[in-house]
């Protein structure tokens, strides 16, 4: 009987060894490597442990409702702590337009915040300390994300931020100047735009497109809407060809030549709001979120509470930036994709600490996303929140439906911080230098070559990973 017993023991040992090997393989395969640390995303929050999470959040300035954002943020944190009272949150609110210099200093020192809010566009800042969030997504949470937000915040390694909202970059038209401007559009073809502007010109007598040529966002937004590409690609290379840039500049040159936009760049930039409200301009662009709210409020789309309900006529309509394409194509809109990123510290706090930080970041994205989106003409990244957002946004169904359609077609800037920084510099220096030269008689081909060379030259002065 001894021989069969030895065989049984050997077989049992082999089974246990295989089971142990399988368990270890399963465990090891789910670990996330972040720098020199491997993190288990299935770790759980210990209800008996005291956690301290540091949150840096950018303030959302709402001049018409000062202090409201900080209050909403505080309430969201308290809601989280009502579920996890053993989690203390150290909140630091930083200015809306502050850059990421302070964060980069903290990363260099190995002591970044656990959670960092990036309302002006979430990015991959430092893969050595930034933790990908996709391993922490439940199947339900994964299904409840706007695909365009996931695409913009992901690369081959996964999703790098908890999406909060998507804000398409928009222009504004007067609906009362021509029926062609009353219809909501997912995108423009060149022929549609020229026809609408020509009709508006005949009715108003002015130059129907009121631009600020010194804001290079006008050219940038038209190029992205037309090509579906950023000037800087995901790998840091220049995406716009010289021919594409030439076509974009020629489009604006044609608008100038036909009198569809002003020939005096400086005068138009100063007077464009007055021209719009005086019914001499039918379209205005580019517009930032605060100018957009002003236009939509004064245009009767949003009630600011300053006058009797229904006192203003519905005059304004948000529209996508125009394109220089003659053929119809799918909508593609430049957009800001807001979100929260999560970091580990050089002195690692533990997998359960990371789990707590991820839980708070997801809660903030879901809780603040609809609230902020309702105030900023943005769309929550979670479709399950759209009904509550619709109720709170104070916009007609027409505008809400258009916002959702545009958000689905959103194109965010490059994900890596270094490449996004190169793009910002390209817009602020290269495009801002050469785009206004069209109004001085510059030729599109020559200007396009200068722009392309300038963008390429940035790689020589910007440190790339």
Q: Give the mean model confidence (pLDDT) for residues 136-160.
A: 95
Tokens of 35: 């720098």
| E-state strands within 37-84 | 37-39, 51-58
Q: Buried b / exposed e across 349-368, counting CB within 10 Å, b at 16+?
A: eebebbbbbbbbbbbbbbbb
The answer, yes or no, to whether residue 18 has pLDDT greater than 70, is no
What is the pairing mode between strands 316-319 and 171-174? antiparallel
pLDDT tens per residue, range 282-318: 999 999 888 888 888 888 887 654 444 443 467 888 8
Residues in the chain: 465
The answer, yes or no, to whether residue 346 has pLDDT greater than 60, is yes
The answer, yes or no, to whether residue 61 has pLDDT greater than 90, is no
- The whole-angstrom distance between residue 214's C-alpha and the CA centroid of its chain comes to 23
Quick check: 323 and 306 in contact, CB under 8 A? no
Going by C-alpha positions, the residue among 195, 219, 218 that lies closest to residue 208 is 195
Residues of the chain with CATH 3.40.190.10: 51-167+336-405, 171-334+414-461
Give the angle 195-263-182 at the CA atoms, nearest 5°: 30
Structurally, at CATH architecture level, domain 171-334+414-461 sits in 3-Layer(aba) Sandwich (3.40)
Q: Which of 221-235, 309-323, 447-461 has the lowest mean pLDDT?
A: 309-323
The whole-angstrom separation of Cα 366 and Cα 342 is 15
pLDDT top residue among 245 and 13? 245
What is the pairing mode between strands 162-168 and 333-342? antiparallel
pLDDT tens per residue, range 79-106: 999 999 999 999 999 987 778 889 999 9
Does the domain at residues 51-167+336-405 carry the CATH identifier 1.10.10.10?
no
């Amino acid at each position: 009987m001894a021989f069969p017993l030895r065989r049984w023991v050997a077989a049992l040992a082999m089974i246990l060894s295989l089971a142990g090997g399988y368990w270890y393989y399963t465990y090891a395969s789910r670990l996330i490597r972040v720098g020199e640390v491997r993190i288990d995303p299935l770790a759980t929050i210990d209800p008996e442990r005291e956690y301290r999470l540091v949150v840096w959040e950018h303030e959302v300035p709402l001049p018409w409702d000062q202090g409201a954002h900080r209050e909403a943020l505080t309430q969201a944190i308290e809601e989280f702590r009502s579920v996890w009272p053993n989690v203390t949150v150290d909140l630091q609110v930083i200015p809306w337009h502050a850059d990421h210099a302070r964060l980069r200093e903290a990363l260099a020192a190995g002591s970044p915040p656990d959670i960092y809010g990036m309302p002006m566009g979430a990015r991959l800042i430092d893969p050595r300390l930034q933790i990908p969030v996709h391993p922490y997504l439940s199947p339900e949470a994964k299904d409840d994300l706007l695909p365009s937000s996931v695409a913009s915040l992901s690369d081959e390694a996964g999703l790098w931020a908890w999406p909060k909202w998507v804000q398409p970059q928009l222009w504004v038209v007067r609906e009362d100047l021509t029926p062609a401007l009353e219809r909501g559009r997912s995108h423009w073809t060149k022929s549609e735009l020229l026809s609408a502007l020509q009709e508006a010109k005949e009715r108003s007598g002015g130059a129907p497109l009121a631009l600020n040529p010194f804001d290079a966002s006008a050219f940038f937004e038209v190029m992205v809407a037309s090509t579906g590409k950023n000037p800087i690609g995901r790998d840091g290379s220049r995406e716009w060809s010289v021919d594409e840039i030439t076509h974009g500049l020629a489009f604006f040159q044609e608008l100038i030549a036909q009198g569809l936009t002003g020939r005096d760049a400086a005068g138009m930039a100063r007077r464009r709001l007055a021209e719009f409200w005086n019914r001499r301009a039918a379209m205005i662009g580019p517009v930032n979120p605060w100018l957009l709210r002003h236009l939509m409020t004064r245009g009767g789309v949003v009630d600011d509470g300053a006058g009797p309900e229904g006192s203003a006529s519905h005059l304004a309509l948000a529209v996508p930036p125009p394109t220089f394409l003659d053929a119809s194509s799918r909508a593609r809109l430049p957009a800001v994709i807001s979100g929260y990123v999560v970091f580990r510290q050089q002195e690692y706090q533990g997998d359960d600490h990371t789990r707590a930080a991820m839980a708070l970041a997801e809660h903030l994205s879901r809780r603040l996303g609809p609230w902020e989106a309702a105030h900023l003409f943005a769309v929550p990244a979670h479709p399950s929140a759209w009904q509550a957002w619709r109720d709170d946004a104070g916009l007609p169904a027409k505008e809400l439906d258009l916002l959702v359609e545009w958000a689905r077609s959103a194109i965010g800037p490059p994900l890596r911080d270094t490449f996004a920084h190169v793009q910002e510099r390209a817009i602020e220096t290269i495009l801002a230098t050469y785009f206004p030269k069209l109004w001085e008689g510059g030729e599109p081909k020559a200007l396009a070559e200068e722009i392309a060379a300038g963008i390429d030259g940035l790689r020589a002065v910007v440190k790339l990973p």
